[in-house]
Structure 1
């Protein structure tokens, strides 16, 4: 006695569909990375061709010269030391700005405190970081507090605005339902408030962190005895353009690494529950 199967098993069909989707994602990832790498190769190639041909090599050192200079600066310990100093300033300043921004964003839900903080937050959002860098450089000189205060004044408002908008858009029906079922404040904040505010907080962190980088380096350029900005200023004063471009390129690489690798990894892991809900 023989039996025939008119339809393939559901598990096999589902597996084949998953393989197709996985292969399509892999192909899309390879394509995107291919174009990204091609962009780097194109612009670095134009830069290398322009050095010594369109412009004098002393005025525009090529990428090969910059990479060679980077190796020398790294071997001498200048690069790790400068980046360590700048990163320490950003870590301290942005941590303070983060908690200050969240606190002000929460307090702004009160209409009286909203009027108290509103103009300060507006000034913080609209004032260019260059202004704060100059003010702190004049007041504090090359003391450690200057870049820290410049970071706080420039970035806290971005976090405050995002937190304030996130609290305004809280799902009131879910809050009321949780209260009606006698859900405690801690559980209510953990399961409703924090997951709702997380995208707003991460948006403020991403924008604030990118601005903190710029302000820190600007402050170090004007008044500092250590750090990336100080090394840039020294290189320009000595007319060492290869070192100046090396510091700029190293700054870009580290900023991209921290934003695209570190912050995106933290954000992806924090929001892993979204994928679980979709599946």
Structure 2
């Protein structure tokens, strides 16, 4: 008994149209899910504000949005936001730089791997609030404290991701570079970093996500300006509406960076990797 399966142009066109419809439905389902999630979140917020805590303890969303608009259009918002963004970006860059250096060390040296892992466990076990207070004691009210605290907290988490990407580099590229008498510095800049660019970008995104949380917390204790300082001022005057408004504004700005900077970098990096894979000669 033979099964006659014929592939016709109409069948191929129908299959392609079906896949396109499935893809479109999947995208619209994802978007509707996001909208439904936000609507549910706001609904729960309204319900808790009206029936559980009260509008004084938890202002409703429209009140917080109105306060956020007044803050964003008022004087001093730009300088306050800029102070926090500089600390976040500085902490992110320092954490990424330290993670690349330590990641290379632990990826290719067993002795350094054991030492750095033991130090990493020590720093990870320290409470973040304790680091913020320690930064206030050591550096006083300055920009250095929030930046270094964000670096210390973010580096151990990002370092493992970068090290994993470095260990995944094709060893044949390294051997071939050594056979052509390339120096260690040339191998690092010409082979290791380009081959692990996806891991580095992922580490940068993770460092940024951790840095802005830690920097904001440290600003509450060890800063005389910035969003964290404004949240502390609102807390001292029991202005819950101002606290939530400043928090919402800062989260919005950080989401902008994450979606329109790091996500675009990841897309470009993935696109370049796919293009390189397509153009690589077959063996």
TM-score (norm 2): 0.82
Per-residue deviation, 1:265: 1.1
Q: Deviations over 1:190-239 (max 9, x none)?
A: 77533542233233222222111111011111121111111111111111
Following superposition of structure 1 onto structure 2, how do residues 98-247 of structure 1 map, counting pairs within 5 Å? Answer: 98-108=96-106, 109-177=108-176, 179=178, 182=180, 192-247=191-246
Alpha-carbon distance in structure 2 between the residues aligned to 1:165 and 1:190: 17
| 1:105 and 1:161 in contact (8 A); partners too | yes
Per-residue deviation, 1:262: 2.1
Following superposition of structure 1 onto structure 2, how do residues 21-32 of structure 1 map, counting pairs within 5 Å? Answer: 21-32=19-30
50 and 105 in structure 1: CA distance in 2 versus 1, 3 angstrom threshold: closer
Per-residue deviation, 1:142: 1.1
| 1:137 and 1:223 in contact (8 A); partners too | yes
| 1:86 and 1:227 in contact (8 A); partners too | yes
Alpha-carbon distance in structure 2 between the residues aligned to 1:193 and 1:203: 16
Task: Give secondary structure in 2 for the equivalent of 1:51.
Answer: helix
TM-score (norm 1): 0.83
Following superposition of structure 1 onto structure 2, how do residues 79-94 of structure 1 map, counting pairs within 5 Å? Answer: 79-94=77-92
Alpha-carbon distance in structure 2 between the residues aligned to 1:138 and 1:70: 32
Structure 1 range deviating more: 101-110 or 58-67: 101-110
| 1:236 and 1:244 in contact (8 A); partners too | yes
Per-residue deviation, 1:67: 0.8
Q: Deviations over 1:145-178 (max 9, x none)?
A: 1112112211222333233333333332443355
Alpha-carbon distance in structure 2 between the residues aligned to 1:134 and 1:49: 36
Per-residue deviation, 1:188: 6.1
| 2:201 and 2:265 in contact (8 A); partners too | no
| 1:98 and 1:156 in contact (8 A); partners too | yes
Alpha-carbon distance in structure 2 between the residues aligned to 1:45 and 1:117: 47
Task: Give secondary structure in 2 for the equivalent of 1:54.
Answer: helix
What do you get for the CA RMSD once the two structures are aligned? 3.0
Unaligned runs of 5+ in 1: 1-5
Per-residue deviation, 1:71: 1.1
128 and 107 in structure 1: CA distance in 2 versus 1, 3 angstrom threshold: same
| 1:51 and 1:57 in contact (8 A); partners too | yes
271 and 126 in structure 1: CA distance in 2 versus 1, 3 angstrom threshold: farther
| 2:123 and 2:152 in contact (8 A); partners too | yes
| 2:49 and 2:59 in contact (8 A); partners too | yes
Alpha-carbon distance in structure 1 between the residues aligned to 2:189 and 2:22: 37
Aligned to 1:3: none
Aligned to 2:75: 77
| 2:99 and 2:159 in contact (8 A); partners too | yes
Q: Deviations over 1:79-116 (max 9, x none)?
A: 43322111111112221222122112223323444455
Aligned to 2:61: 63
Alpha-carbon distance in structure 2 between the residues aligned to 1:150 and 1:241: 26
